[in-house]
Structure 1
């Protein structure tokens, strides 16, 4: 057998190293922050089967749609939704611009800083606050205000920016799906324009793939003659409950093959997803880890909540219809990237 030259031997060693390196990478765990269990297995099996051309469950790339709720599914929603905190903080700015509002309810209560009184605000009170803080300005001004707030606002428990409180396991799931040609969408009951200001930066989801509650806009011209849009207090889409599948149809035009939520507001989206033909995966995040995050339900005897309620009826429906329930306590090794 002829002797190999140095370069031939070197090439073979190099090739072996490349194969080993890339082989190891291909076989590495795509969801390292997930514990081995039913939830992780359901995800990996679903992705493998829907992307394998030889599988009866194969889904063409154009139809690979995955939808995710935002609050409580992709990031922390307790003790209050981040957008509500933004609106309450903005009350100070709008009353400085219009001092007469400072003596008018519900703005007077918000300015008092009395948390118990603020917690007693009614839905009509909150609607007045939302209208005053989320509409009446140009789209550009709103976007600038949200970005500035996100740069400075911090969560009261962790003392970190809200954008740092995304769930690491869900970030891995988003990346895993995109690596397998799935298009990931955020379908949120929160404000569409609000979520669009950070979704691409922290989740890799561009603005056009964010579906949320939306208000009307009015086209007009500035003093310089340039056109702009003004946000109006007119609700176009309430992207919660039945509004989620309605919004999916309106904005996406395809039924998801995978959907993830965490509360009763996501029920119809999961039903709509699971009702489609072929392989479908509907999942719910159960907040059952008070030490690392929060625990609330009231499913499975967890504390009741008005923010992101996961009822026992929803839990029972998940069991009956074959939805996967993700336990933060049992299914996630890590919750946040900063742990």
Structure 2
């Protein structure tokens, strides 16, 4: 009987958690529509007896990274990492002085790099990633993360995170949510620092994935990165990544661009209570202002669909009291 009661209690605790309704769970958010919508959603899905109550295993929230959890201007931060790697490796590759898009990077000609298109970007990733073991790549990422600084603010790239979103991640976790990153960025690039910055462990990071190969180097088993793309975790690839890595449809999804649209569509198409939110970059003074015509983080079709379907849209300028943890 004691074993039965213990098993029953364990099963109950696995599906419930005491909701945390702090006086102000999101202090860096203004008391406007988005904050109210977030709190209302969390309370109804986490309150026992609510018609919209969601058991713990199903409380899944997915977040895009670039432009949603941290800034993404003037270039995606992983691309800044790639540029640094090209410069470090350039002495071993004299042919890069005349070969595009490497030559444009070494000359600081970003227009030339962008002109190379997706094929050029893939060649850059292959040149800087392939052949490294996963441990070597992780060390390279960690070295970059603790030293590389943003060209505009002078802060570490990992300090360019949004304080309101850090609060949101904690608020959701306090109320039984499991939070995941689902990003077009490289999965091996994000995993080394995601837990330290966001409190999201490596196994809850979903991203674009390259090929890996097991081999023995001497007596040491290693995983080696290959120049092949297994999953492009952007746009239509995001729901695919969610299914492959998580196996449950989220009940809440957060993004900032058209690249996140399919993730928000997939999330809100499920039954029961659902929540979708777009971060709209409208603050040219504290961050950047861009949307429909931007080459980075374009928000066009997604903005229209958010309006049509009643999704929550954060006006960064008006809905956030502060942007970065180090902001005044």
TM-score by length of 1: 0.88
Residues 163-174 of structure 1 aligned to structure 2 (within 5 Å): 163-174=158-169
Is it true that 1:237 corresponds to 2:226 in the alignment? Answer: no
From 300, 320, 327, the equivalent of 1:332 is 320
User: Deviations along 1:11-67, whole A, 9 cap, x unmatched?
Assistant: xxxxxxxxxxxxxx9642000000011100110001100011110000001111000
Q: Match of 1:114?
A: 109
Q: CA deviation at 1:290?
A: 0.3
Is it true that 1:317 corresponds to 2:310 in the alignment? Answer: no
Residues 294-313 of structure 1 aligned to structure 2 (within 5 Å): 294-298=288-292, 304-311=293-300, 313=301
Q: Match of 1:21?
A: none
From 171, 176, 192, the equivalent of 2:171 is 176
Residues 92-111 of structure 1 aligned to structure 2 (within 5 Å): 92-111=87-106
- CA-based RMSD: 1.3
2: CA distance, partners of 1:263 / 1:308: 5
Q: Which runs of 5+ in 1 are unaligned?
A: 1-24, 299-303
User: Deviations along 1:61-102, whole A, 9 cap, x unmatched?
Assistant: 111100000000000001100001111111112222333333
SS in 1 for 2:192: coil
Q: Which runs of 5+ in 2 are unaligned?
A: 1-19
SS in 2 for 1:235: strand
Q: CA deviation at 1:334?
A: 0.6
Aligned positions, number = 308
SS in 1 for 2:290: coil
Q: Match of 1:270?
A: 264
Q: For the pair shown, which has the larger CA radius of gyration, 1 or 2?
A: 1
2: CA distance, partners of 1:292 / 1:227: 47
From 54, 57, 61, the equivalent of 2:56 is 61
Q: CA deviation at 1:119?
A: 4.5
- CA gap of 1:40–1:150, structure 2 versus 1, over 3 A, is same
2: CA distance, partners of 1:222 / 1:115: 38
From 124, 129, 132, the equivalent of 1:129 is 124
**Contact 2:183–2:206 at 8 Å: present in 1 too?**
yes
SS in 2 for 1:152: coil
**Contact 2:195–2:202 at 8 Å: present in 1 too?**
yes
Q: Match of 1:46?
A: 41
